[in-house]
Amino acid sequence: MRITGEFVAGFERLAEIGPAVTIFGSARVTEDDPMYANARELAHRLVDEGFAVITGGGPGIMEAGNRGAVDGGGISVGCNIELPFEQGMNEFVEIAVDFHYFFVRKMMFVKYAEAFVIFPGGFGTLDELFEALTLIQTGKIHNFPIILFGSDYWAGLLDWLKKTMLPEGKISRDDLKRLIITDSAEEACEMIKICYQEECWAAEDRSAAAKFESEAG
């Protein structure tokens, strides 16, 4: 019953937020970290374009995303998780939903998002990244943009994917093309906007999709 209740509560709270972008990243990033500023700027740009911003509701990158959404006068959503050692809901969340179960929380991240932006983070961030990639790969959700923010941070992971997983046939080149790399909040926002407007996930020959593929290398 608790699982069902969490689904219902999430659906009811988020049903009217409109198009949204989910921002992921480390809870351990501090306000003086450049990535905090980047996430805050990106969120501000996204709400200027009419997107709501969804985060995990905690500190660090999540706080920066919610803060940027509030800066821009947009919709700021936090999907928090009950943990024994961290994390409280940050003060910039305006629509708050608390979860006990990770899988219900992750459903909300995916269901209402038109794109994911993945900032540097740890195991939780990687879990959310690879779950989205798996859902797209298996056709369970539509092919929306997955943007990795911070080329230096993600370089090692991408190198391993290209030099180990791809040659061994564990993934395909098309799987790699789903990942978009950027260091610019302006560029990330523009790519999301174009893809949303042109429905680039529905037609791989669209100009936006071709741009994303070239970015993936």
SS (H, E, C) 61-99: HHHHHHHHHHHCCCCEEEEEECCCCCCCCCCCCCEEEEE
Domains in the chain with CATH codes:
2-216 (3.40.50.450)
pLDDT band at 69 (very low <50, low <70, confident <90, very high): very high
Q: Which two tokens stand for residue 77?
A: 């959503």
In this prediction, residue 86 carries a pLDDT of 60
**Cα distance between residue 163 and residue 3, in whole Å:** 40
Determine if residue 25 is left, alpha or beta; phi over 0 gives left, psi from -120 to 50 gives alpha, anything else beta.
left
Pseudo-torsion of CA 30, 187, 196, 175, nearest 10°? -80
pLDDT tens, residue by residue, 140-152:
888 888 999 999 9
**Cα distance between residue 38 and residue 33, in whole Å:** 9
**Cα distance between residue 34 and residue 120, in whole Å:** 11
Mean pLDDT score across all residues of the chain: 87
- Picking from 175, 4, 197, 213, the residue whose alpha carbon sits closest to that of residue 115 is 197
Residue 83 has pLDDT above 90, yes or no: no
Predicted model pTM: 0.86
pLDDT tens, residue by residue, 27-65:
999 999 999 999 999 999 999 999 999 999 999 999 999
The answer to whether residues 145 and 192 touch, using CB atoms and an 8 Å cutoff, is: yes
The answer to whether residues 153 and 181 touch, using CB atoms and an 8 Å cutoff, is: no
In this prediction, residue 80 carries a pLDDT of 87
Place of tokens 């046939």: 169
pLDDT tens, residue by residue, 84-140:
766 688 999 999 888 877 888 888 888 888 999 999 999 999 999 999 999 888 888
In this prediction, residue 121 carries a pLDDT of 98
